[in-house]
């Protein structure tokens, strides 16, 4: 085994959080109040009595009627706090608007063009109530589905909360998806109502959302009304009787609206996520457990406090936005930034300027963005005062140690611990994650959150240590999804069939000798070269560690002798010449970093890699292109043109 693989497998660097931060952290104080001396004692107590932990946290929320049972676990079905009467909106909004946080800012919104809006909890409360009353007037009742297709404007959380307030189920579709994707999701959900906007700006370009919707709206048979936010006041076609402007609808609506008293297990939302078959999965989340899970992780992972300015850069159209832009932060009574724009527009200083302008204290983003900013260089963050930051977060994909270090040094000033949070649409909340008191190894997502038992198994269900295997979760957690919408069979087959009563995450992970988890990527991104298991992420990490490389995507190319060969597509730093010689240098670099087994047989230079709109590299498409298969539908890619580039590169 080469030195680099050894280094990746046994990352020796450990970074400790500043003492003051540990002392002041929510988790440390919570443990002190309960006489719990340290992390291992906490984990032990949680293992012995997980319900004790969740009960304590659930008690910090408001229940219309208390629950008597905490967990009912009939695998694969969990119910949490099932007989409690609850509504997440009462906790995220009503109780703040009626209490001392009334005039506290809930959202600071900034548009790409620099426009700003601030909404207090009281502002938000009244807008939500007006829309909730309007929806009721349109005949929306408990259990009805509402599709929401909006950019990152305040009307998006308002729409979600208004639905939840009256017990309707929201299904948000990312505004970057194209019409076909929207249609598929709205048909599956059987939505009565769509809430959309005229248009928004991205990279200075006008994106006409209502026009996009118009191309498919007639194909969605259940739609009765389309509510249109006039965000930019661009011209739109309004179909009489069906389409109505948000402002017209809300005119004269009462500013009070009774919050529906629901059962904790009532459905809060459906969120569609991609599965291996191509048909999106409708992941179903509930009011009670989801609220407790997102609130608890806001408190203990992000260490949220009342004087924080918190910024999660994810779009609300993804689970990260649902849990950590909308519900988690609002339940915690936080002040959040909402930014509707590209992160590097008009220049790569945009995010850093906003951190400085608003005094952001907690910043949560994705490794793909970190790597993009690495490419732009240190100069951009250095131009800004980032000293307000206290804590950083990462989510969505494995963060390679180089990007981790860059983020830690250049954004966090070596004083902000990085919470590398591993979780999924299905899990609803952070599952494997550090706490602000954890010693960190760059590239590791640390260990399971208190009470959660995660493991790495071989095909026969034996626990593995030091080797890659199936990442699984063995115990239920409150924010877990309850099913796939209208697809019970797929719920069981995809997640609960490989190992009975154990949740299969679909990721490959490894647990090192200190119990740290290293997520290696999706199972389908793992290569098998001559009988050796190699993670695409490991090869990519090696390539990215070369000073001339910015980003890399690695896929397997079937090979009769070796099973698979490694093909790599590489984005070089600006101004670096893509020569044949350089391919050899990089091959040699990987060989040196990991070992001959991981040396790419093919290297292609590209300017861009096909990515989903959430920034995930679409290896499936790269692989199809590489082996000459049909790449299928590329309409959900952020950059379909990158697909053609691949061919030229080889
Ligand atoms: O492969 C893991 C990766 O993202 C997948 C979940 O994707 P999604 O449901 O879209 O949710 C993304 C945001 C929670 C996981 O199966 N993933 C997510 N976070 C991490 C990660 N991989 C490594 N490290 C992470 N921190």
* Closest approach atom of ligand 1 to CA 394: 26
Which of 328, 418, 424, 468 to probe ligand 1 with, by most ligand atoms within 8 A of CB? 424
Residue 429 reports pLDDT greater than 50:
yes
Integer Cα distance of 34 and 26 in angstroms:
13
Domains 91-260 and 546-649 agree in fold: no
pLDDT for residue 1: 35
Integer Cα distance of 500 and 497 in angstroms:
6
Q: What is the mean pLDDT of residues 463-474?
A: 96
What distance in angstroms lies between residue 596's CA and the mean position of ligand 1's atoms?
29
Which residue lies with its CA nearest to atom 11 of ligand 1? 424
Residue 542 reports pLDDT greater than 60:
yes
Residue 176 reports pLDDT greater than 60:
yes
CA angle 181, 220, 182 (to 5 degrees): 15
Residue 137 reports pLDDT greater than 90:
yes
Residue 116 reports pLDDT greater than 50:
yes
What distance in angstroms lies between residue 158's CA and the mean position of ligand 1's atoms?
26
Integer Cα distance of 207 and 176 in angstroms:
9
* Closest approach atom of ligand 1 to CA 420: 26
* Closest approach atom of ligand 1 to CA 314: 13
**Residue (of 376, 385, 388) closest to 353 by Cα position:** 385
Domain residues of the chain, as ranges? 19-87+265-520, 91-260, 546-649
What distance in angstroms lies between residue 485's CA and the mean position of ligand 1's atoms?
21
Residue 526 reports pLDDT greater than 70:
no
* Closest approach atom of ligand 1 to CA 445: 26
Could you read off the pLDDT of 250-269 as tens digits, one per residue?
A: 999 999 999 999 999 999 99
Ligand 1 neighbours, Cβ below 6 Å, are 273, 319-320, 394-398, 420-425, 445, 505-507, 519, 522
Which of 274, 276, 393, 423 to probe ligand 1 with, by most ligand atoms within 8 A of CB? 423
Which residue lies with its CA nearest to atom 22 of ligand 1? 397
Query: Which pLDDT band, with edges at 50, 70 and 90, does 91 fall under?
Result: very high
pLDDT for residue 551: 93
Query: Which pLDDT band, with edges at 50, 70 and 90, does 276 fall under?
Result: low
What distance in angstroms lies between residue 587's CA and the mean position of ligand 1's atoms?
28
pLDDT for residue 3: 43
Q: What is the mean pLDDT of residues 162-171?
A: 98
What distance in angstroms lies between residue 395's CA and the mean position of ligand 1's atoms?
6
What distance in angstroms lies between residue 170's CA and the mean position of ligand 1's atoms?
22
List all residues 6 or more positions away from 503 whose beta carbon is below 8 Å from its beta carbon: 76, 472, 473, 474, 480, 495, 496
* Closest approach atom of ligand 1 to CA 318: 10
pLDDT for residue 645: 83
Which residue lies with its CA nearest to atom 7 of ligand 1? 424
Query: Which pLDDT band, with edges at 50, 70 and 90, does 2 fall under?
Result: very low
Query: Which pLDDT band, with edges at 50, 70 and 90, does 594 fall under?
Result: confident
What distance in angstroms lies between residue 397's CA and the mean position of ligand 1's atoms?
5
Which residue lies with its CA nearest to atom 13 of ligand 1? 396
Q: What is the mean pLDDT of residues 263-282?
A: 84
pLDDT for residue 557: 87
pLDDT for residue 418: 98
pLDDT for residue 12: 77
* Closest approach atom of ligand 1 to CA 398: 23
* Closest approach atom of ligand 1 to CA 519: 23
What distance in angstroms lies between residue 516's CA and the mean position of ligand 1's atoms?
17
**Residue (of 341, 350, 308) closest to 436 by Cα position:** 308
Which residue lies with its CA nearest to atom 8 of ligand 1? 424
Q: Coil, strand, or helix at residue 259?
A: coil
Which residue lies with its CA nearest to atom 26 of ligand 1? 422
What distance in angstroms lies between residue 235's CA and the mean position of ligand 1's atoms?
39
What distance in angstroms lies between residue 234's CA and the mean position of ligand 1's atoms?
36
Residue 524 reports pLDDT greater than 70:
no
> What is the full DSSP assignment across 572-613?
EPTT----HHHHHHHHHHHHHHT-GGG--SEEEE-S---BBT
Residue 531 reports pLDDT greater than 60:
no
Integer Cα distance of 162 and 169 in angstroms:
10
Q: Identify which has the larger pLDDT, 121 or 530.
A: 121
The CATH homologous superfamily for domain 91-260 is: ANL, N-terminal domain (3.40.50.12780)
What distance in angstroms lies between residue 522's CA and the mean position of ligand 1's atoms?
9
Q: What is the mean pLDDT of residues 46-72?
A: 98
Read off φ and ψ for residue 95, nearest 5 degrees: -70, -30
Read off φ and ψ for residue 174, nearest 5 degrees: -50, 130
Which of 395, 481, 516 to probe ligand 1 with, by most ligand atoms within 8 A of CB? 395
Q: Which of 459-463, 492-496, 537-541, 574-578 has the lowest mean pLDDT?
A: 537-541
* Percentage, residues of the chain above pLDDT 70: 95
Query: Which pLDDT band, with edges at 50, 70 and 90, does 561 fall under?
Result: low
Query: Which pLDDT band, with edges at 50, 70 and 90, does 5 fall under?
Result: very low
With beta carbons less than 8 A apart as the criterion, state whether 619 and 635 touch.
Answer: no
Single pTM value for the model: 0.85
Q: Coil, strand, or helix at residue 395?
A: strand
pLDDT for residue 4: 40
Give me the chain's average pLDDT, please: 93
* Fold of the domain spanning 546-649: GMP Synthetase; Chain A, domain 3 (3.30.300)
Q: Domain spanning 19-87+265-520: which CATH class is it, in words?
A: alpha beta
């Amino acid at each position: 085994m080469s030195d680099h693989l050894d280094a990746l497998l046994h990352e020796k660097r450990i970074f400790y959080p500043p003492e003051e931060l540990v002392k002041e952290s929510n988790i440390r104080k919570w443990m002190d109040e309960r006489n719990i001396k340290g992390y291992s004692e906490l984990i032990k107590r949680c293992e012995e009595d997980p319900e004790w932990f969740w009960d304590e946290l659930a008690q910090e929320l408001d229940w219309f009627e208390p629950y008597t049972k905490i967990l009912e676990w009939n695998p694969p079905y969990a119910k949490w706090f099932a007989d409690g009467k609850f509504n997440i909106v009462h906790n995220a909004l009503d109780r703040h608007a009626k209490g001392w946080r009334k005039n506290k800012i809930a959202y600071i919104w900034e548009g790409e063009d620099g426009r700003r809006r601030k909404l207090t909890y009281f502002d938000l409360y009244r807008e939500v109530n007006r829309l909730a009353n309007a929806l009721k007037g349109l005949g929306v009742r408990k259990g009805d589905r509402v599709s929401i297709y909006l950019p990152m404007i305040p009307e998006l959380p308002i729409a979600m909360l208004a639905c939840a307030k009256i017990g309707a189920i929201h299904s948000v579709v990312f505004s970057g998806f194209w019409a076909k994707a929207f249609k598929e999701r709205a048909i599956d959900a059987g939505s009565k109502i769509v809430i959309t906007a005229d248009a928004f700006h991205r990279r200075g370009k006008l994106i006409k959302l209502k026009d996009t919707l118009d191309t498919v709206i007639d194909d969605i048979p259940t739609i009765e009304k389309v509510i249109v936010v006039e965000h930019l006041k661009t011209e739109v076609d309004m179909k009489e009787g069906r389409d109505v402007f948000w402002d017209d609808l809300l005119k004269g609506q009462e500013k009070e609206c009774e919050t529906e008293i629901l059962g904790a297990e009532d459905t809060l939302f459906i969120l569609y996520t991609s599965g291996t078959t191509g048909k999106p999965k409708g992941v179903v989340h509930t009011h009670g457990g989801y609220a407790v899970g997102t609130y608890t992780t806001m408190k203990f992972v992000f260490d949220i406090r009342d004087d924080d300015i918190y910024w999660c850069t994810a779009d609300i159209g993804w689970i990260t936005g649902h849990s950590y832009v909308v519900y988690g932060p609002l339940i915690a009574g936080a002040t959040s930034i909402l930014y509707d724009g590209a992160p590097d527009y008009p220049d790569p200083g945009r995010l850093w300027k906003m951190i400085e302008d608003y005094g952001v204290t907690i910043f949560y983003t994705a490794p793909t963005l970190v790597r993009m900013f690495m490419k732009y260089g240190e100069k951009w963050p250095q131009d800004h005062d980032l000293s307000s930051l206290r804590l950083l977060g990462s989510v969505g994909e494995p963060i390679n140690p180089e990007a981790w270090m860059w983020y830690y040094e250049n954004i966090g000033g070596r004083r902000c611990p990085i919470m590398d949070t591993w979780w999924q649409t299905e899990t609803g909340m952070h599952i494997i994650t550090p706490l602000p008191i954890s010693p960190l190894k760059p590239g590791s997502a640390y260990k399971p959150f208190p009470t959660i038992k995660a493991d790495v198994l071989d095909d026969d269900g034996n626990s593995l240590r030091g080797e890659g295997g199936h990442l699984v979760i063995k115990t239920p957690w409150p924010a877990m999804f309850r099913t796939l919408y209208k697809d019970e069979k797929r719920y069981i087959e995809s997640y609960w069939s490989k190992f009975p009563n154990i949740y299969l995450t679909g990721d490959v992970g490894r647990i090192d000798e200190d119990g740290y988890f290293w997520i290696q990527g999706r199972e389908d991104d793992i290569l098998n070269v001559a009988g050796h298991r190699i993670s695409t992420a490991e090869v990519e990490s090696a390539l990215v560690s070369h000073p001339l490389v910015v980003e890399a995507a690695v896929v397997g190319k079937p090979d009769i002798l070796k099973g698979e060969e490694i093909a790599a597509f590489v984005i070089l730093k600006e101004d670096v010449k893509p020569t044949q010689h350089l391919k050899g240098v990089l091959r040699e670099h990987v060989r040196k970093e990991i070992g001959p087994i991981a040396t790419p047989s093919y290297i292609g230079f590209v300017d861009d890699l096909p990515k989903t709109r959430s920034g995930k590299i679409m290896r499936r498409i790269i692989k199809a292109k590489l082996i000459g298969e049909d790449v299928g539908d590329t309409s959900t890619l952020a950059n379909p043109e990158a697909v053609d580039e691949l061919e030229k590169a080889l």
